[in-house]
Chain A
Amino acid sequence: MGDSSTSYIHMVQHMIEKCLIFNMTKEECMEALSKHANIKPVITSTVWNELEKENKEFFEAYAQSQSKQDRMSEEETSRMIQKMISDSSSKDPDK
């Protein structure tokens, strides 16, 4: 009994790690595992939480990098929009 639970947890951990590589959030992870592997979100979230407890530093860093991305994306987006506007106005004045 214990063995199958352990291996199941291991499998879920494995999948979570794959999601981490994709820089997914916990919620995204829950959704993905539920959708693609039929893992109940509550299980995913529990395993995630436990993983976080065991690997605090990792998850701290992970959270930081995640927030960085969000910020950057906003800046980047606005920058790109600006560029697009200037590009289009310079290239196609008739537009």
Chain B
Amino acid sequence: MLAVSPLRNNTSKDDDEGEMESTFTISSDEFPDFADGNLLESIDFDDLFLSIDVDGDVLPDLEMDPEILAELPPAGEESEMNASGEKTEESDNQRKDEEENKVSTSKGDEESVSKREEPKAVKTGSKDGDKGRKSSIKGKSNNNNQGTRKLKVDWTPELHRRFVQAVEQLGVDKAVPSRILELMGIDCLTRHNIASHLQKYRSHRKHLLAREAEAASWIHRRQIYGGATPVGGGGKRDVNHWLPPTMGFPPSASPMHHQNHLFRPLHVWGHPTMDQSLMHLWPKHLAPPPPPPRPAWGPPPPADPSFWHHQHHRVPNGQTPGTPCFPPPLTAAPTRFGAVPVPGIPPHHAMYKADTGIGVPASQLRRHPLVDLHPSKESIDAAIGDVLSKPWLPLPIGLKPPSTDGVLVELQRQGVPKIPPSCA
């Protein structure tokens, strides 16, 4: 194994470089001793380096070696180190020294580093180069380095999308890493990489599902109760006044989509194309309240964005500037839930179906929202957690804040001397 690997590697590198070709093949033919495991002792480095290009094109080659050598067991490394050390001291070729140093340095052996004072800069350079190469190599051509070690995979959006595609093809619950790997057809992924990524993906989906279910039950509830038709006088719609919580998100009266849309995002964790704004929304803003029934509202959809901005204008405390991307996603999100207000069976069924998918029997579901009006602890916890972790987020409703002094005075009256309190 030991003997074979560098050869194999060299052979692959041959294709890239072409320069070392003759040397390496000769080595493989003429040095059967490799099988013994004393690799470096068998290799005559002089021969290897003879055809080295002055410009240092060889560096890439050599840097491949250290990787392989790095993978070798420590005992092997040591002997190699010693061997290379000896050879270096023997040779007069300065360049050879540098190469050797790089080789030994890359292995991370401090002894050799201390021995060589001269090419320190080079060493460092090569080290960095090695690291850089290593990571890129790990990311791309794992198979070349004795294949499948647990090297770090960079899950790019593109890669992830392919992953998601493969998973969806197989079915999330049935998706087995080996099958996913096949479907993806990417060499540099190991089954292990896929397995761990799959695990993360699944837990993320569960989280989303829970929130979606929460939102769905909320929406259903709103439907049943006729929503929070705003501010007393039904018809009179004062856009500019403070509205009930449901108006925290603009009533998107845009065309009703199926409630099934609610559950689309489940399939697109990190998916660049679809519903991404919605996706980003979920973790941040929790279940946006379903807008009130459309008929009750009247105002045309185009009013929505302006409505939203109205709200912000009205809020003198200027919390808007915080997150530029805040309004648009919000406008987008309720669009999905805009389907809600349509009273009637289909949305109900849609939701029931979806909820059934989550494991709640339909009959239970019907009762559920009626009996238990409260949002789940998980949703509340998530919402509150968001506030704690991301204080920079703008207020969801944007109420006029109370005066600090007023609050403090009142609190002192109640026996709370200062806030934040030192003990909760």
Q: Which residues of A contact B (CB under 8 A)?
A: 1-2, 4-11, 13-15, 17-24, 28, 32-33, 36-40, 42-43, 46-47, 49-51, 53-55, 57-58, 60-62, 64-65, 68-69, 72-73, 76-77, 80, 84
* Contact of B397 with A9 in the complex, beta carbons under 8 Å: no
Bound complex: CA A5 to CA B416 (Å) = 12
Bound complex: CA A73 to CA B372 (Å) = 10
Residues of B within 8 A of A62 (CB): 244-245
* Contact of A10 with B289 in the complex, beta carbons under 8 Å: no
* Contact of B414 with A42 in the complex, beta carbons under 8 Å: yes
Residues of B within 8 A of A77 (CB): 370-371
Residues of B within 8 A of A5 (CB): 404, 407-408, 418-420
Assess whether B388 is interfacial by the CB under 8 Å rule: yes
User: Nearest residue in B to A37 (C-beta to C-beta)?
Assistant: B384
Q: Which residues of B contact A (CB under 8 A)?
A: 218, 224-226, 228-232, 241-246, 248, 286-289, 363, 366-367, 370-371, 373-375, 379-381, 383-388, 391, 393, 395-404, 406-408, 410-411, 414-416, 418-421, 424
Residues of A within 8 A of B410 (CB): 46, 49-50
Min CB gap A11→B, angstroms: 6
Bound complex: CA A19 to CA B64 (Å) = 58
Given A21-B245, A22-B379; 10 other pairs, CB 8 A cutoff: A7-B391, A9-B404, A20-B397, A21-B288, A22-B380, A32-B380, A36-B385, A42-B411, A46-B416, A55-B242
Report 15 cross-chain contacts, Cβ distance below 8 Å, ordered by A residue. A5-B419, A17-B399, A18-B380, A18-B383, A20-B397, A21-B245, A22-B289, A23-B245, A23-B289, A40-B424, A42-B415, A51-B401, A60-B232, A65-B244, A68-B225
Given contacts A18-B396, A42-B416, contact A72 B224 (CB under 8 A): yes
* Contact of A50 with B418 in the complex, beta carbons under 8 Å: no
* Contact of A38 with B424 in the complex, beta carbons under 8 Å: yes
Contact of A61 among B225, B242, B407, B411 (CB under 8 A): B242
User: Nearest residue in A to B411 (C-beta to C-beta)?
Assistant: A46
Residues of A within 8 A of B393 (CB): 14
User: Nearest residue in B to A13 (C-beta to C-beta)?
Assistant: B401
Most buried by B among A2, A14, A49: A14
User: Nearest residue in A to B402 (C-beta to C-beta)?
Assistant: A50
Residues of A within 8 A of B230 (CB): 61
Residues of B within 8 A of A13 (CB): 395, 399, 401-402
* Contact of B407 with A68 in the complex, beta carbons under 8 Å: no
Contact of A17 among B224, B385, B396 (CB under 8 A): B396
Closest 8 CB pairs of A and B: A50-B402, A58-B242, A38-B424, A65-B228, A18-B383, A72-B225, A36-B384, A22-B375
Residues of B within 8 A of A11 (CB): 387-388, 391
Residues of A within 8 A of B363 (CB): 84
Residues of B within 8 A of A55 (CB): 242, 399-400
Contact of B387 among A14, A72, A80 (CB under 8 A): A14
Min CB gap A21→B, angstroms: 5
Bound complex: CA A60 to CA B373 (Å) = 20
Contact of A21 among B286, B388, B391, B406 (CB under 8 A): B286
Residues of B within 8 A of A68 (CB): 225-226, 228-229
Bound complex: CA A2 to CA B411 (Å) = 14
Bound complex: CA A72 to CA B225 (Å) = 6
* Contact of A73 with B370 in the complex, beta carbons under 8 Å: yes
